[in-house]
Structure 1
């Protein structure tokens, strides 16, 4: 906003201080003069002429002194007011300088005014807090932008792969009409199914990221039961035993998304398990203010470094990349996104004997 130049606050403060000091001095001098002038008639020994002469003498001697005193008060008020204004407004100058720097995009500096709490220091502390929040917000936006850029690049690569395979299969079929069409159709079906699954996973990930869902009370124990029953044939196929437990566990969120979260966790625990006689433990529990879902499985040993990357989109361990259950690389990424969209947390901890211990903490109704 453009403004015309005006008088500085320091000068206004100085003039106000000097003016107030002179006004107070003038009132005091007037009161003293009136006191002496009115006190003369109390003496009965003076005649009227003598009283008049005495008043003139008093005025002649008092007025110059009063002028000198007022001049001294003026100079003292101007100098003292200027110095006091400089000291009083110094914190405001620091706040102004920090504001100018922040307007240029520099959010790392802080005012940090020393001394005990007063109005200026309260303002400076509030401004420091605002700068800290803005800096954290900008850093988070930059991180998200980088993640989105990396995610878009990975998604493009993942989608390009099945399309390239389909194109190659069609070119082979066109070049050799005598080749078995049934085999090509079956391979095309497999590739297209993978592309469809990847697209649906990307759409689900986008929906969860936008938090475009209605929150309601959901019993996590029933959700876990539904997920385990759905995946029971897959567990039997892999020779994995599922053990579930837990009482009523109310959580606040979307039933469909929480079911997807639980299904992904249980599916991940089944397909990345021991070659035979593996076990998956699914448990729900209630903690103060939160509902907790725990999925634990046996399996190969995983390093903490590898576990930290498993929730990143399209990140898989080496053994997962070369298995027939490699998936699309978005299972745990979707779980993490759904948990965060519900203001919850997801924790992956390698088990010392092998496998993973995954905990999803979600807000409970009224928590």
Structure 2
């Protein structure tokens, strides 16, 4: 809906300055009248003496006062226009930057110099907002490109196998069905992971009281057969650590952490330790595993969608879609917690999840 045209902020400030000066001049004249002229005798009808009287003063003072008020009004308009322009110049820069951002250009920054004031605070906040928007948009573009690539891969494989089967009718159909089943299952897992990631990002889920120690035990019990096949020791320790959130999403978080710790471990003889505890007002879930040495600059990128470390093992049984830690980070963020990843000096990874503790009923 269009708005009716009105005065610009510069005109409003200009008229305000001029009006203030005019009012100050009028008040000054009123003070002169109240405290001076009213006490001077009025000798307008008689002979004028040599002493001052009200008639003479009015004849001399009023024209001069009117001229002075006119000068004050013009001075207020010109001075107010110039001062308003100087004061609103930072706002014009912010407006130009907002228009550029509206066209899709998020690389522009205001970077206003000078002493701190309200306009510069607004400029700094706008620059921070542009930084976050540019980072978020870039992340979403990379996510969309990676998701398209990941989804296209199983579809391309399926089409290739179907083309081969169509050209070679004697090919074993049982093998074809089995390979198509594997590829289709991977596409379904990827789609479900994308839906789960979207759901946790929105944060629109029911909340209930959840014990992270029970989440850790259930995740370890589910993945114990995988750990035993890989000859990895899986241990759960710690105490009850209660928080408030979605039991389903927190269980998925625990499963992803434990599965990553098992899969990205030593070929045989590795260890995985899952520990829960309460630290102050936070409930903590810590997953630690042995494994190859991880470069320090690689670890912060492991939570990016479809990011896989170059030295991290990828098995066919649990190939994953590169969304495990991305989903963990999304779930933790939706629950108001924090996620910390640190490489172990001897190799492997230490993942620490801190979530707000559940409030105890009084």
Q: TM-score when scaled to structure 2?
A: 0.80
In terms of Rg, which structure is larger? 1
Any idea what the Cα deviations from partners look like across 1:79-113, whole Å, max 9, x if unmatched? 55346635763564225423532442357326667
Closer, same or farther in 2 for the Cα pair 1:55/1:19, shift >3 Å? Answer: farther
How far 1:36 sits from its partner (Å)?
2.5
Please report the RMSD computed on the Cα atoms of aligned residues, expressed in angstroms: 3.5
Aligned to 2:11: 8
String of CA shifts for 1:19-76, please: whole Å, max 9, x gaps.
Answer: 54145325514642331318x9xxxxxxxxxx94357973453234313541463255
Displacement of 1:129 after TM fit? 5.7
In the alignment, the residues of structure 2 paired with residue 30 and residue 317 of structure 1 have an alpha-carbon distance, to the nearest angstrom, of 87
Question: More helix per residue: 1 or 2?
Answer: 1
- The verdict on how the C-alpha distance between 1:270 and 1:52 changes in structure 2, with shifts beyond 3 A counting, is same
Matches within 5 A, 1:73-88: 73-74=68-69, 77-78=72-73, 81-82=76-77, 85-86=80-81
**After superposition, where does 1:27-46 map in structure 2 within 5 Å?**
27-29=31-33, 31-37=35-41
Paired residue for 1:350?
A: 343
Size of the aligned set, in residue pairs, is 347
Deviation string 1:150-177 (CA, Å, 9 cap, x unpaired) is: 2332333333254245425634xx6242
Whole-angstrom CA distance in 1 between matches of 2:24 and 2:5 = 29
Q: Secondary structure at the match of 2:274?
A: strand
Q: Which moved more, 1:353-362 or 1:94-103?
A: 94-103
The residue that corresponds to 1:333 in the other structure is 326
- Find the aligned partners of 2:358 and 2:59 in 1 and give their Cα distance: 83
Counterpart of 2:61 in structure 1 is: 66
- Equivalence map 1:223-302=2 (5 Å): 223-302=215-294
Q: Residue 360 of structure 1 corresponds to which residue in structure 2?
A: 353
In structure 2, do the counterparts of structure 1 residues 65 and 156 end up closer, same or farther at CA, with 3 Å as the change threshold?
A: same
Name the structure 2 match of 1:201. 193
- State the distance in 2 between where 1:167 and 1:284 align: 49
Quote the residue 1:93 is aligned against.
88
TM-score (norm 1): 0.79
Could you tell me how far apart the structure 2 residues matched to 1:222 and 1:151 are? 34
Structure-2 separation of matches of 1:141 and 1:96 = 26
Higher mean displacement: 12-21 or 230-239: 12-21
The C-alpha deviation readout for 1:111-132, integer Å capped at 9, x for no partner, is 66747xxxxx54x356336524
CA deviations over 1:228-251 (Å, ceiling 9, x no partner): 111112211111111211111112
CA contact (8 A) 1:245 1:284 kept: yes
Residues 182 and 135 of structure 1, relative CA distance in 2, 3 Å threshold: closer
1:310-325 residue pairs with structure 2 within 5 A? Answer: 310-320=302-312, 323-324=315-316, 325=318
Q: What is the rounded CA distance, in whole Å, between the counterparts of 1:337 and 1:301 in structure 2?
A: 26
Who is 1:118 aligned against? none
What pairs up with 1:128-167 in 2 under 5 angstroms?
128=123, 131-132=126-127, 134-164=129-159, 166-167=161-162
Contact 1:238 1:275 in 2 (8 A): yes
Report the alpha carbon displacement of residue 279 of structure 1 after superposing the two structures with TM.
0.7
